[in-house]
Structure 1
Amino acid sequence: MGDYNLIGPRFYSCYRCRNPVALHDDIVAKGFQSRNGRAFLFSHSMNVVSGPKEDRQLMTGLHMVSDVHCGDCGEVLGWKYEKAYEDSQKYKEGKAVLEKFKIVDEKR
């Protein structure tokens, strides 16, 4: 038997403090854009704190969102969709977008 049984799932961590924030298997879409470049939509995130909810005009319309902060160092990593006002965007509700340059792919 190899070491593969000891290796956990592939995950992403905060680029500043390496706090694990999302599992690779929870990626819903990789084609998202933020002001700073590519971003990934995750069905779940972990070890993060959400900021206050606010309405924000994004590329796909008006959404109620909250900034997602690393639970360890406080760095803003992206945002969470709290509410989508358009029916075609409802699938995003409750999901988090993490900016690619703010997270590190921890390949184990």
Structure 2
Amino acid sequence: MEDSIGPRLYSCYKCRNHLALHDDIISKGFQSKNGRAYLFTHVRNVFEGPKADRQLITGLHTVADVHCADCREVLGWKYEKAYEESEKYKEGKVVLEKFKIVKENW
């Protein structure tokens, strides 16, 4: 097997736009409406939609959908504000849905 060229990362499943490094994953234990999702400290090459309050499994949060900067696909969401103290660690972090991202350099 060949050595990988560059860091392990995740890309948009539609257009292969680079989104996040494997090292930026905080948790792989998140759930979305469509299945598993990963929490990242940083993502790149995305833009945010409007902020909205949503009642999620873990309580009320202000979130913004995260879109691929190239193909505009919705890939997940960013936590803007958490209302419960135990959820504050999510603020500023981004969740990407597992089925919307692909691994590169693995």
Give the TM-score of the pair, scaled to structure 2: 0.95
Alignment length, in residue pairs? 105
Gaps of 5+ in 2: none
- Residue 96 of structure 2 is aligned to residue 103 of structure 1: no
Post-superposition Cα deviations, 1:31-79, rounded to whole Å, max 9, x if no partner, equal 0000000000000000000000000000000000000000000000000
> 2:21 & 2:40 partners in 1: Cα distance?
8
> 2:61 & 2:96 partners in 1: Cα distance?
16
Partner of 1:30: 28
Instruction: For 1:106, give the aligned amino acid.
Output: E
Shift of 1:107: 2.7
Instruction: For 1:35, give the aligned amino acid.
Output: K
Any idea what SS the aligned residue of 1:28 has? Answer: strand
Any idea what SS the aligned residue of 2:88 has? Answer: helix
> 1:87 & 1:71 partners in 2: Cα distance?
32
Gaps of 5+ in 1: none
- Residue 87 of structure 2 is aligned to residue 86 of structure 1: no
> 2:78 & 2:85 partners in 1: Cα distance?
17
Q: Which has the larger radius of gyration?
A: 1
> 1:95 & 1:59 partners in 2: Cα distance?
17
Where does structure 1 differ by over 6 angstroms across 4 or more consecutive aligned residues?
none
- Percent identity at matched positions? 73
Give the TM-score of the pair, scaled to structure 1: 0.93
